[in-house]
Structure 1
């Protein structure tokens, strides 16, 4: 298990330190608080996205630019694949 270049032994040591510092009875409260905080951030982000989409529709702004860019990138990738053909690097 690797998460942000942290292996299992490092995670175990971090959890051990957290238990020693805060105590086993406080960990559920801390986790609950972190969960509520993450939920508030997610809700705020969704509200901002919704407000931007509503404003762009109201003022007639084209929001399909990202789709157009992705389609162009796919086209370029396909062209590069056609040019390279059978010449591919084997690793």
Structure 2
């Protein structure tokens, strides 16, 4: 109720009503009240239209943002898969090469030991 009267106290409302009564008379007050009511109804309708328009605009933006988010998620997932695949391939190549190097070192060490024991 206080929001409707913009924090006007009860005494101030009574003073305003008395001034309206003195200025317009008792016969004009119902017409003024109807006019005021119609004005408030139009104001509410305009406010609702603005609110509805704002919500539809923001819902369109939300949909666009969701599409962008989905697209980015799809792209980052693809990049992750590619990087994981490449990293696995590199890991396999490194393992294969290090295994070959170990075998060669073992072979060379065995030959060196055989040469030392033959001498």
TM-score interval, smaller chain: 0.5 to 0.7
Cross-structure match for 1:24:
26
Structure possessing the higher radius of gyration over alpha carbons: 2
The CA RMSD measured in Å over matched residues stands at 2.3
Q: How far, CA to CA, are the matches of 2:36 and 2:64 in structure 1?
A: 37
Deviations along 1:57-81, one digit per CA (max 9) or x if unpaired, are: 223267xxxxxxxxxxxxxxxxxxx
Q: Which has the higher helix share?
A: 2
Cross-structure match for 2:38:
36
Aligned residues: 60
Q: Which structure 2 segments of 5+ residues have no match?
A: 66-119
Higher relative CO (CA 8 A, sep ≥ 6), structure 1 or 2? 1
Q: How far, CA to CA, are the matches of 1:36 and 1:61 in structure 2?
A: 39
Q: How far, CA to CA, are the matches of 1:31 and 1:20 in structure 2?
A: 15
Q: Which structure 1 segments of 5+ residues have no match?
A: 63-91
The structural deviation recorded for 1:11 is 3.2
Q: How far, CA to CA, are the matches of 1:31 and 1:48 in structure 2?
A: 25
